[in-house]
Amino acid sequence: MARMDISTEKAELATQTAMPDALFELGMLYATGRDVEADLVAAHKWFNLAAARGNRSALTYRLELAREMSSEQIAEAQRLAREWLQTH
């Protein structure tokens, strides 16, 4: 249960502030499986959003993740990022 609380808190911070570093941290959580179940699609989405807001490290991590993902997974992550942008 504590894992859920930590990730929920970080997700709420990221969505409320849309700050690049908070979005990057959320990407790191999903990429590493720290505090949440590892999910490359979600990690790519958050890194993509962080990169779009100026976090240069997110560019590198997004590219590294993409090497491990199928083209369908990358397309899904990009679709999710676009949806997030429409609501935030």
DSSP class of residue 54 equals: T
Give Cα 41 distance to the centre of its chain: 8
C-alpha–C-alpha distance, residues 87 and 59, integer Å: 23
Residue 9: how many CB atoms within 10 A of its CB? 11
- Tens of pLDDT along 21-75? 889 999 999 999 988 899 999 999 999 999 999 999 999 999 999 999 999 999 9
Give the CA-trace dihedral at 61, 56, 71, 27, to 10 degrees. 50
Would the pTM count as exceeding 0.85?
Answer: no
Q: Which residue has the tokens 């429409």?
A: 86
